[in-house]
Amino acid sequence: MCGIVGIVGNFNIQQLDSMLRSQHHRGPDATGKYTDASFAALGHNRLAIIDLSVQSNQPFLDSSGRYALVFNGEIYNYNELKASLQNQYVFKTESDTEVLLAAFIIYGTDCLQKLNGMFSFAIWDNQNKKLFAARDRFGVKPFYYSIKNNSFYFSSEIKALHAAGIPKIPNEKVWASYFAYGSYGNPDETFWQDVVQLPGGHFLEYENQKLQIKKWYSFEEEVAKQPKNLTYAQAKEHYLTLLKDSIRLRFRADVPVGFNISGGLDSSVLLAMVNSQENATSNNNNNNNNCNAYTFYTNNGDYDELPWVEAMIAKTNNPLIKVLLQANEVPVLAHKMGGQQDEPYGGIPTLAYAKLFEQARKDKVLVLLDGQGMDEQWAGYDYYTQENEATIQGVHDSPYKINMLSDSFLAKVEKPVYPQPFDDVVLNKQYRDLFYTKIPRALRFNDRISMICSTELREPFLDYRLVEFAFSLPLNFKIKNGVTKFMLREIASDYLADDLVFTPKRPVQTPQREWLADDLNVWVNECFEGISNSNYSSWFIQEELQKELRLYMEGDFQSSFHIWQCVNCYELIFNLKRLI
């Protein structure tokens, strides 16, 4: 897990240095640079997870010196790939980095189909003066780029592009759509002008000042290839086999591994599989035995999931590290997080989650697993079977307050329209959440909050084999008698008590609504006042903005999303000078 940067075209080395400094948190263990005359410069911040030796530092060159690689992420099946390449490439390290470069040299772009991992990487061919870059199937690891003055810039975080001199100007279409529809942009968009992201499952080639982007992963085609007409028992057995293998692969690390846990079903499954893996490796000195579990709480019984977490952990005896978030911490944490995230993020739960990584780093646990991705593959949200376009669980009224927006700002709004590649309504909603809404934004939030603490987050439930297979199963395998994720619950019940795995879904929450209205009242009012006095106040109708704030403070807080949007916006835009 690292940070990558690069410039193809006219550059000075000071630009590359500034980019690397802005991303130092992503890789504090080593910083490296590579230049090819005046053609290209690559940079890398390394967080050492696999093969900790200096021989695996990056940029990484093949033995001929033709190819230079900068890579962010992990190739989980690197041992298997390495074995298949032994007769065609002479390896000098034990790293997945070298396996990735060897696979590219041997297979070309077809290497991407062979990778099981989370990755964004760039390879410079100094013979043909050509850049190749790619991103994993679901976009777990980020890749941003910009073209300025006939030069191509790329990085792992947006701030690095701004550090290189790309102007920091809000993309008002994306911001307006965020306020009006809660959209975080299309897969290639960001909240900043002239900053683009490579969508997950795509690669790019840049040569002679020409950019080509191609899709290398077709989810729809892979779903169609899945086994057909399986019985319920056969499907359950096959999924469990894949699930165990996914966890096994993600235990590969040369540093301690832990996991994040809440009181929900997905965490129950994660806990069960982690301990199944621990038991399987207990006799081979694996350093992940009895690994730490991390959870957060707020001392609010209406929201905290500690009783469920402690009941789960009591069955396995993993060390449980409980991390407290208090209301008075939020303004400082939000200020810091605004600078780290670069774009709007999920709210106070994101701040609480971030504290887990901070604690894990203190404990020298550098890799954490979590349960992201189960709801999208198993149709776990209530709105999947409802006739609406909702993307938020458990909210009945619209969380968006379009009445706050000025006519000129509203004119820039673009209502998101999502592809519907399947003949089934539920599948299309799952597809939307997987590639356009839920998963892309959660992955971005989580990448930033893990990397700000120089830790690595792995998402075992987003193994593409799991997602494709679960997605292909009949709906009655997923929802039965009104119980969502039914097969998954049955799998978990083989390891944990039914009262832990057949409880209704509880969103991971904090007392955000109450805190914003009460404990954080002064801070929230300051943020709204800052909006009104800013250069961007024309985005809003000031009377409506103040009206919504007043109504909220008087107790109308069925949803706090519009309040958080404004607070988040203030931290990211209206306090813009602080972040540049």
DSSP for 502-546? SSPP-----SHHHHHHTTTHHHHHHHHHHHHTSTTGGGB-HHHHH
- Which H or E run contains 378? helix 374-378
544, two tokens: 């409506």
φ, ψ of residue 524 to 5 degrees: the values are -60, -45
Q: Which of 253, 274, 449 is nearest to 366 (CA)?
A: 253
pLDDT tens digit string along 43-69? 999 999 999 999 999 999 999 999 999
pLDDT value for 284: 40
pLDDT tens digit string along 347-403? 999 999 999 999 999 999 999 999 999 999 999 888 888 876 656 555 556 789 999
pLDDT value for 389: 63
Q: How many whole angstroms separate alpha carbon 27 and alpha carbon 216? A: 28
Residue 166 DSSP code: -
pLDDT value for 38: 87
Residue 182 DSSP code: -
pLDDT value for 308: 87
pLDDT value for 495: 80
- Angle among Cα 420, 426, 428 to the nearest 5 degrees reads 15
Provide the pairing of β-strand 367-369 with 456-458.
parallel
Q: Which of 94, 104, 93, 99 is nearest to 67 (CA)?
A: 104
Which residues lie below 8 Å from residue 359, measured CB to CB, with a gap of 6+? 294, 321, 323
Indicate whether 500 pLDDT > 80: no
Q: How many whole angstroms separate alpha carbon 71 and alpha carbon 67? A: 13
152 contacts 206 by C-beta, under 8 angstroms: yes
Q: How many whole angstroms separate alpha carbon 182 and alpha carbon 561? A: 9
pLDDT tens digit string along 3-21? 999 999 999 999 999 999 9
Cα atoms in the 13 Å half-sphere on the side-chain side of 377: 25
421 contacts 429 by C-beta, under 8 angstroms: no
Q: How many whole angstroms separate alpha carbon 380 and alpha carbon 434? A: 12
- Which H or E run contains 124? strand 117-125
Q: How many whole angstroms separate alpha carbon 536 and alpha carbon 408? A: 12
pLDDT tens digit string along 139-151? 999 999 999 999 9
pLDDT value for 300: 93
229, two tokens: 């007409």
**Mapping DSSP to helix (H, G, I), strand (E, B) and coil, where does residue 40 land?**
strand
Residue 76 DSSP code: T
Indicate whether 286 pLDDT > 70: no
Indicate whether 203 pLDDT > 70: yes
Identify any residues that bridge with 31 across adjacent strands, giving them in sequence order: 45
pLDDT tens digit string along 331-347? 999 999 988 999 999 89
Q: How many whole angstroms separate alpha carbon 253 and alpha carbon 288? A: 9
Please confirm, yes or no, whether 2 is among the known catalytic residues. yes
pLDDT tens digit string along 93-130? 999 999 999 999 999 999 999 999 999 999 999 999 99
- Residue 27 — very low, low, confident or very high, per pLDDT cuts 50/70/90? very high
pLDDT value for 452: 95
Q: Give me the domains of the chain, ranges plus CATH numbers.
A: 2-217 (3.60.20.10), 230-393+423-501 (3.40.50.620)
Amino acid letter at 280? A
- Residue 192 — very low, low, confident or very high, per pLDDT cuts 50/70/90? very high
Mean pLDDT for 75-97 is: 96
Identify any residues that bridge with 355 across adjacent strands, giving them in sequence order: none
Which is more confidently placed, 464 or 534? 464
Mean pLDDT for 520-549 is: 94
Owner of token pair 């697993």: 369
**Residue 96, annotated ligand binder?**
yes
Indicate whether 288 pLDDT > 50: no
